[in-house]
């Protein structure tokens, strides 16, 4: 009798544990991450501060507009050195518009975003579902899921990503980004979860640490963000660059 | 008959020995200087070309079309497959003595505290040694790469200074790069040596790494961005280029060292122009000097010319005597000058002249071709004949009566 109940308990325990993982799949977690970090469309105001190895730091302010999976636009507003610069992403192509030259030049995904530790695709191309295969692996921290994301194609700027997601609210906690060699290139911490609207909550702050040069890091702070918008299609035309 | 005239001409020259000697000395030194200058200059050019071609760029380079225009952009993007069969086919081309595969990439190097942009080259050390036998000579500190090295790298001296990278330092030296598609990557490395480059800026940016490491970093498995070739003799470069074009087709660009390193080509060109100008100036000076001497001789010998004309020597014969005099001066002065020039070059080339060249202190070996020496003597003769022609014409046109009276 005792033995039977023990076995039953064991079995139940096993099932529940299984359920704790089985109730959500890696694909679902990725989808949630994409929804939180890169909603289908949004309009936002952000600051990116990059701390350099020489001890200096610089803060760039920008407005961003996203439409669908593959369209993104950024207007830099300060400091004056970059004010008037714009970025437009359409699909796999991105351009940086320089007001002094009145011309747009191509940006590569791997290039760093305004000389900081985010690269362009970190900011402009948040769509892990499309770019990565995810699987849930054992997390060191029982309150979080740990995802291992393996790149699906050669175009992603990272080969492998480890992503920790809170079990309680599905908010991302931290990330680690690796090169093909297996070397850790960057690590991120997501913090300051903030409810921007009733339907939208996300970490307001992303700290991106440069693992190659540890004295370098960059912080992205989302000051305002609205997701219930309908972006005007003409904002995502190359001819609109420089028109504000 | 001609011999008699030559004898007369020679005798005439010995009549005023001092003047003839001064004229001879001018021709002699003029020719000697031209030949020594040419020897040193050619020696310098050879040294420069050899040190660049044989220590870094190779005689011929092969890339995907557009590579040279895209050097500042993303060289990794223009890569091509390099199977062993291709290597065999290239080595089978006549005059080719070696072929070295390379991967050119841009990236960053970091010491854990700082990072800076670098332009790296992945090389296969054993092949590299065949194509650029002097490559080890650019190493300033430490040692050059070996085939078995996996993570050893060579950095420019200036780069080593600016990032405090010391030979043997492995802690935290990281090379970062990206695949043509933009996949970021980084690998740990250790510094096996530091090396000199063409200039300080290049030294601040250059890194040489094992081929495999560059391929891993950039995701180019079995692919390369550049082939460097060596040939047995520099004059065979055009023939080898043509054969390569035939073999590879129009998707590849085949360039020689001059196109790969226009800076050196320009140095070579400039030097040739300078030598030519100096030579011409010296020859013109010699010409005026000889012309002056001959005019004086004619003036002095008016009576003698009158006598000769009076006893039946023809105008043509007079002309010939004076031209032969000028020619003798040119020939004797020229030959002696050439002997001095060749001798001086030979003595200097025995031990070489120490010289700070493009990369480092090296020995310069002056050398001058016998054809250039012969050409100089010929030029000296032609110059003196031209210079002597007018005075000789003047002498032959003298009226015997006037000449005898003067």
pLDDT value, residue A19: 44
Give the distance from residue A112's alpha carbon to the nearest chain B alpha carbon, in angstroms: 11
**Would the CB atoms of A53 and B114 count as touching at under 8 Å?**
yes
Give the distance from residue B252's alpha carbon to the nearest chain A alpha carbon, in angstroms: 25
Q: Each residue of B282-339: pLDDT tens digit?
A: 888 888 888 888 888 888 888 888 888 888 888 888 888 888 888 888 899 999 999 9
Give the distance from residue A53's alpha carbon to the nearest chain B alpha carbon, in angstroms: 6
pLDDT value, residue A15: 46
**Would the CB atoms of B114 and A213 count as touching at under 8 Å?**
yes
Residue A70, both tokens: 């593959």
**Would the CB atoms of A212 and B113 count as touching at under 8 Å?**
no
Q: Which mean pLDDT values do the consecutive 10-residue runs of chain B (406 residues) have?
A: 75 84 88 88 80 83 85 77 90 91 91 88 92 84 90 91 82 84 87 85 90 92 91 88 89 88 82 86 84 82 85 87 87 92 88 65 77 88 86 84 79
Give the distance from residue A218's alpha carbon to the nearest chain B alpha carbon, in angstroms: 15
Residues in B closer than 8 angstroms to A215, CB to CB, are 113
**DSSP assigned state of B308:** H
Its pTM stands at 0.73
**Would the CB atoms of B112 and A213 count as touching at under 8 Å?**
yes
pLDDT value, residue B239: 92
> Token match 């100096």: residue?
B278
> Token match 């999976």: residue?
A69
Check: CB of residue B340 under 8 Å from CB of residue B32.
yes
**Would the CB atoms of B186 and A110 count as touching at under 8 Å?**
no
Strand partners, B47: none
Q: Which residue numbers in chain A have pLDDT < 50?
A: 1, 12, 14-21
**DSSP assigned state of B112:** S
Of B74, B174, B184, the CB nearest to A157: B184
| Residues whose CB is less than 8 angstroms from the CB of residue B75 and which lie 6 or more positions away in sequence, other chains included | B67, B104, B105, B106, B225
Length of chain B: 406
Q: Each residue of B118-165: pLDDT tens digit?
A: 999 999 999 998 888 888 888 888 898 999 998 899 999 999 998 888
**Would the CB atoms of A183 and B185 count as touching at under 8 Å?**
yes
Residues in B closer than 8 angstroms to A121, CB to CB, are 182
What angle, 0 to 180 degrees and rounded to 10, lies between the N-to-C axes of helices B302-310 and B262-300? 70
Q: Is B131 on the interface with A (CB under 8 A)?
A: no
Helices (H), B301-369: 302-310, 315-351
Check: CB of residue A203 under 8 Å from CB of residue A34.
no
| Residues whose CB is less than 8 angstroms from the CB of residue B136 and which lie 6 or more positions away in sequence, other chains included | B129, B144
pLDDT value, residue B41: 84
pLDDT value, residue B357: 52
Chain A / chain B CB contacts < 8 angstroms: 73
Residue B34, both tokens: 């031209």
Exposure of B138 in the CB half-sphere (CA atoms within 13 A): 29
Of A108, A183, A216, the CB nearest to B186: A183
Measured between alpha carbons, how far is A56 from A51 in angstroms, rounded to an integer? 6
Of the candidates A92, A103, A121, which has an alpha carbon nearest to the alpha carbon of residue A241?
A103
**Would the CB atoms of A213 and B182 count as touching at under 8 Å?**
no
ipTM of this predicted structure: 0.76
pLDDT value, residue B170: 61
Q: Is B146 on the interface with A (CB under 8 A)?
A: no
CA A111 to chain centre: 16
């Amino acid at each position: 009798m005792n033995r039977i109940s023990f076995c039953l308990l064991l079995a139940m325990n096993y099932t529940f544990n299984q359920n704790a993982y089985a109730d959500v799949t890696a694909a679902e977690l990725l989808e949630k991450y994409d929804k939180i970090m890169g909603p289908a469309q949004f309009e936002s105001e952000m600051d990116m501060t990059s701390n350099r190895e020489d001890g200096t730091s610089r803060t760039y302010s920008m407005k961003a507009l996203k439409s669908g999976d593959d369209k993104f636009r950024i207007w830099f507003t300060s400091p004056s050195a970059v004010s008037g610069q714009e970025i437009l992403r359409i699909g796999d192509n991105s351009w940086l518009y320089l007001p002094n030259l009145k011309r747009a030049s191509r940006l590569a995904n791997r290039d760093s975003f305004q000389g900081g530790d985010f690269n362009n695709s970190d900011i402009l191309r948040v769509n892990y579902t499309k770019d990565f295969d995810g699987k849930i692996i054992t997390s060191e921290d029982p309150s979080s899921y740990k995802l291992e994301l393996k790149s699906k194609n050669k175009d992603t700027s990272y080969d492998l990503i480890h992503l920790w997601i809170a079990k309680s609210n599905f908010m991302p906690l931290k990330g680690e980004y690796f090169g093909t060699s297996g070397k850790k290139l960057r690590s991120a911490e997501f913090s300051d979860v903030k409810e921007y609207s009733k339907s939208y909550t996300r970490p307001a702050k992303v700290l991106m640490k440069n693992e190659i040069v540890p004295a370098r890091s960059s912080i992205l702070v989302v000051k305002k963000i609205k997701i219930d918008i309908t972006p005007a299609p003409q904002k995502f035309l190359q001819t609109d660059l420089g028109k504000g | 008959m001609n011999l008699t005239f030559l004898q007369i001409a020679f005798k005439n020259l010995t009549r005023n020995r001092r003047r003839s000697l001064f004229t001879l000395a001018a021709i002699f030194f003029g020719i000697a200087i031209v030949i020594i200058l040419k020897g040193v200059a050619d020696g310098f050019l050879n040294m420069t070309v050899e040190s660049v071609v044989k220590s870094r760029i190779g005689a011929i380079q092969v890339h995907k079309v557009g590579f040279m225009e895209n050097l500042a952009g993303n060289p990794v993007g223009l890569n091509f497959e390099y199977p062993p069969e291709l290597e065999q086919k290239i080595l089978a081309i006549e005059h080719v003595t070696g072929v070295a595969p390379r991967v050119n990439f841009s990236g960053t190097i970091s010491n854990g505290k700082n990072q800076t942009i670098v332009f790296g080259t992945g090389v296969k050390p054993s092949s590299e040694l065949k194509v650029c036998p002097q490559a080890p000579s650019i190493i300033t500190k430490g040692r050059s790469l070996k085939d078995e090295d996996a993570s050893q790298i060579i950095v420019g001296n200036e780069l080593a200074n600016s990032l405090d990278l010391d030979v043997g330092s492995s802690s935290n030296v990281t090379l970062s790069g990206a695949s043509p598609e933009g996949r970021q990557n980084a690998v740990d490395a250790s510094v096996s040596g530091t090396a000199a480059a063409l200039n300080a800026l290049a030294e601040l940016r250059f890194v040489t790494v094992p081929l495999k490491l560059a391929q891993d970093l950039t995701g180019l498995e079995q692919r390369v961005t550049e082939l460097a070739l060596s040939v047995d003799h520099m004059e065979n470069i055009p023939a080898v280029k043509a054969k390569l074009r035939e073999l590879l087709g129009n998707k590849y660009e085949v360039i020689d060292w001059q196109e790969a390193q226009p800076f050196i080509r320009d140095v070579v060109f400039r030097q040739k122009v300078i030598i030519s100008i100096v030579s011409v100036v010296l020859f013109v000076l010699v010409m005026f000097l000889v012309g002056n001497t001959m005019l004086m001789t004619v003036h002095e010998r008016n009576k003698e010319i009158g006598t000769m004309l009076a006893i039946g020597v023809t105008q043509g014969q007079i002309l010939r005597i004076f031209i032969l005099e000028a020619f003798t001066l040119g020939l004797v002065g020229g030959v002696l000058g050439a002997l001095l020039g060749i001798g001086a070059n030979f003595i200097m080339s025995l031990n070489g002249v120490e010289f700070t060249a493009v990369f480092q202190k090296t020995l310069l070996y002056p050398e001058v071709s016998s054809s250039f020496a012969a050409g100089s003597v010929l030029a000296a003769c032609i110059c003196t004949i031209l210079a002597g022609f007018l005075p000789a014409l003047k002498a032959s046109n003298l009226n015997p009566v006037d000449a005898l009276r003067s």
